[in-house]
Amino acid sequence: MGVLSVPAAVRAILLDIEGTTTPIAFVKDTLFPYIRDNVQEYLRVHWEEEECQQDVSLLRKQAEEDSNLAGVVPIPPETGTREEDSERVIEAVVDNVHWQMSLDRKTTALKQLQGHIWKAAYTTGQVKGEVFEDVVPAIRKWREAGMKVYIYSSGSVEAQKLLFGYSTEGDILELFDGHFDTKIGHKVESESYKRIAASIGCSTDNILFLTDVTQEANAAEEADMHVAVVIRPGNAGLTDDEKSYYSLVTSFSELCLPSSP
């Protein structure tokens, strides 16, 4: 793509994760299949723990709210302490999780359990967060130039910190000044980007947002944020109009920071 000059007003760079810092394939082919393949074993091992029971209660409540949806799997309450009773509930939780994931749902209950399963996987070394090889050197360079760097992802802040804390490049959390998830607002809503700027303590005009999703780029631009669309292997293709409209980069190394005055 060549070189993209970062506007002089920019003081902070806001990064998406999936398809931007990290291959979409890692999320699609590693993280989510890990949940599907290991949720039953995780529940059996951690069933008596309070955190696990809280996760199950939240999923049960969500299943009740979903009772009018086709295919929903209800989660019965435990009626006693018998092992077969626990196993019956575990089977229902597993089926419910698989059902929600098949619909690509993002309920708080599902995300909370997924986060806890991933935490166990990361901390035991069964999973390592993948980042593109240009990411760490580029961010170090930006930080040396005085740039602040933040993450904004639909994945929870906890999941973000696990990915970067247990990455293929080691613990790289020190590279980020802060993390945002959809608690601050959805990524396709321009108000979310205004809230992020307010939280950082600068104007939206002082931020450059890098994402692979044009709807997100559009929302950020509506909030007067600078944007660039990232093209990575495995990302969705762009239309000719999108290619001509947006600033495009294929590597973080293509960003040219403004010279210090």
Return the pLDDT at 155: 85
CB 237 within 8 A of CB 42: no
> Any known ligand binding at 224?
no
> Any known ligand binding at 190?
no
Q: Is the pLDDT of residue 2 over 80?
A: no
The residues that bridge with 4 in the sheet, in sequence order, are 255
CB 4 within 8 A of CB 249: yes
pLDDT tens-digit readout, 61-87? 999 999 999 999 999 998 766 777 899
Task: Kindly report the pTM of this predicted structure.
Answer: 0.89
> Any known ligand binding at 212?
yes
> Any known ligand binding at 254?
no
Place of tokens 């303590």: 201
CA nearest to 39, candidates 121, 160, 104? 121
Within 13 Å, how many C-alpha atoms sit on residue 11's CB side? 9
* Spatial distance between the Cα atoms of 23 and 31, rounded to a whole number of angstroms: 11
Structure tokens at 69: 């949806």
pLDDT tens-digit readout, 219-261? 999 999 999 999 999 999 999 999 999 999 999 999 999 875 4
The domain locations on the chain are 4-22+129-256, 28-124
pLDDT tens-digit readout, 139-193? 999 999 999 999 999 888 988 999 999 999 999 999 999 999 989 999 999 999 9
pLDDT tens-digit readout, 86-133? 999 999 999 999 999 999 998 889 989 999 999 999 999 999 999 999
* Spatial distance between the Cα atoms of 155 and 153, rounded to a whole number of angstroms: 5
> Any known ligand binding at 187?
yes
**Domain 4-22+129-256, CATH 3.40.190.10 — does that match?**
no
* Spatial distance between the Cα atoms of 76 and 85, rounded to a whole number of angstroms: 10
> Any known ligand binding at 153?
yes
**Domain 28-124, CATH 1.10.720.60 — does that match?**
yes
CB 83 within 8 A of CB 126: no
